[in-house]
Amino acid sequence: MDLTRRAVALGGVGLLASASFTTANAFESPLIDPIEAADEFWLAVEAYIYGYPLVTTEMTRRVVTNVEKPVGSKGPMGHIIKLREYPGPAFKDVTAPNADTLYTTAFVDVGKEPWVLSIPDMKDRFFLFPMLDGWTTVFQVPGKRTTGGAAHSYAITGPGFKGQVPDGVTEYRSPTSLVWILGRIYCDGTPEDYKLVHALQDQCKLVPLSAYGKDWTPPPAKVDPDIDMKTAVREQVNRMDAVEYFTLLSELMKTNPPTAADAGTVAKFAQIGIVPGQDFDKTKLDGTWAGRVPEFAFHRIMLHFKFSDGDIKDVNGWGYTTSTGIYGTNYLQRALITAIGLGANRPQDAVYPTSLKSKDGLIARGYHGSNNYVVTFPKGQLPPVRGFWSITMYNDQYFFVDNPLNRYSISARQNLKANADGSTDIYIQHESPGADKESNWLPAPKDKFILMMRLYWPDDSPPSILDGSWVIPAVKKAG
């Protein structure tokens, strides 16, 4: 990924129209300043984008694991974190959380020793346990689609592991020492189903390889009081200055090395003091422009949502991609998914169409709770999936919004009512559409909001979102 002066300059102009993605005081000084900067400025922007997933994953790990024992959405390294109910509006650990599955997650360091994850018999229930490396690549994903529902154990080994795993255990090799197990188990949200899923979560086991087959209790952790546990992770990352950011990136790259395919790109970063396996040399970063790198790079990341060179499709006002989970050298796409949907799955497991604006003909306007909206699925054209589908409501920062139903997503589990012609309307508005329509109501906030659809295990034969043969209907302003 080469960020030429022309590409970034055009991107900067476009960002002025992307208010929903910009941060305060984004362009305090004239745009021409970085345009006239040395070539190293653009190299630093490229390095920032390249490292954004690794830095964000590490900052997420720090916040999530900085507790003595598992509680709520947090748990120490090597402990299984079991969310017992859907996240609510107070949940800020990751952007764009879902309200369809119960997270069953853990962070582990496989650099010194492998870890073994054991998953119980899930029978017919949909589940998946994607394993992400430090760069957010989903390197393996045991689950209903890939491994079936039977009980099994998986040894997650590090990049330098040369030993053997026990008989009957499947080895999954991670490219990095840092691994995020981001398990999801489908739940319909009723008390009865919560109880069933809790039992499955309790049967999930995670142990170091040396303790496999033995009684082992994960030890408590020591809390670091210097870690900010209140500020959202994305905000913590975005407010780092360039020196702090690149210092952390260089440190992380010692145990989370770039891939062989990254070699050509990473070699260029030596010019600004970034060399894999070494500390960051800040003397090579020019202080006259370094302060502009983080804000400009992040804006470039977010601009990719609108101008993606084919990575993001725009269908009836819904933007989505089938380039998630495995990114290769598409660093800009990888950074964008980190920013708006950290922990995204492979497209065969899930596709996430996102809509920022309603679209009626040629007119598109941002969603606002002062208006009512409706999306209509024609008869027989609900989202085609083998897992499940839903539409989730977020505020303009990709977090949940308080509402009287405590309903953050809508799907078939709400027993949606069909119209006389067999079509199905979803009502998206702040006020109730009426008692007779509340089963089909997705409550909206009073102000700006964003919609995200989830299609888990989408059909791979037509009609399918994977090949574009299934078309998402537009969300239209009602009345």
**Least reliable range by pLDDT among 23-32, 76-85, 233-242:** 23-32
pLDDT tens digits for range 364-419? 789 999 999 999 999 999 999 999 999 999 999 889 989 999 999 999 999 999 99
Distances 306 to 17, 136, 317 between C-alpha atoms, Å: 11, 22, 11
Q: How far apart are CA 249 and CA 134, in angstroms?
A: 11
Q: Where are the beta strands (DSSP E) in 81-164?
A: 81-82, 101-109, 115-119, 127-128, 131-133, 138-140, 152-157
Distances 455 to 90, 123, 151, 382, 389 between C-alpha atoms, Å: 25, 21, 25, 11, 4
pLDDT tens digits for range 424-438? 999 999 999 999 999
SS3 453: strand
Mean pLDDT score across all residues of the chain = 90
Q: 354, exposed or middle or buried, with CB in 10 Å at 0-12, 13-18, 19+?
A: buried
pTM: 0.86
What was the pLDDT predicted at 9?
28
Can you read off the two tokens belonging to residue 303?
A: 């601009």
Residue 457's φ and ψ, nearest 5 degrees, are 50, 65
What was the pLDDT predicted at 36?
53
Give 249 or 94, the one with higher predicted confidence: 249
What was the pLDDT predicted at 364?
79
Question: pLDDT exceeding 70 applies to what percent of the chain?
Answer: 91
What was the pLDDT predicted at 46?
98
What was the pLDDT predicted at 395?
95
pLDDT tens digits for range 143-187? 999 999 999 999 999 999 999 999 999 999 999 999 999 999 999
pLDDT tens digits for range 444-460? 999 999 999 999 999 99
What spatial distance separates the first Cα and last Cα of the chain, rounded to whole Å? 46
What was the pLDDT predicted at 440?
98
What was the pLDDT predicted at 340?
82
Closest by Cα among 153, 156, 228, 141 to 456? 141
Q: How far apart are CA 79 and CA 66, in angstroms?
A: 12
Inform me whether the pLDDT recorded for 359 exceeds 80.
no
Task: Kindly state the average pLDDT of the residues 44-70.
Answer: 97
Can you read off the two tokens belonging to residue 394?
A: 């977020």
Question: pLDDT exceeding 90 applies to what percent of the chain?
Answer: 80
Residue identified by tokens 């079991």 is 82
How many CA atoms does the CB half-sphere of 471 hold within 13 Å?
A: 7
Inform me whether the pLDDT recorded for 37 exceeds 80.
no
pLDDT-derived band at 361, boundaries 50, 70, 90: low
pLDDT-derived band at 91, boundaries 50, 70, 90: confident
What was the pLDDT predicted at 285?
92
Inform me whether the pLDDT recorded for 13 exceeds 60.
no
What was the pLDDT predicted at 255?
96
Inform me whether the pLDDT recorded for 362 exceeds 80.
no
What was the pLDDT predicted at 147?
97
Closest by Cα among 333, 225, 242, 306 to 1? 333
pLDDT tens digits for range 373-384? 999 999 999 999
Task: Kindly state the average pLDDT of the residues 251-274.
Answer: 97
In the chain the domains, ranked by start, together with CATH numbers, are 5-59+232-303 (1.10.3360), 67-211 (2.60.40.1610), 313-477 (2.60.120.600)
What was the pLDDT predicted at 400?
94
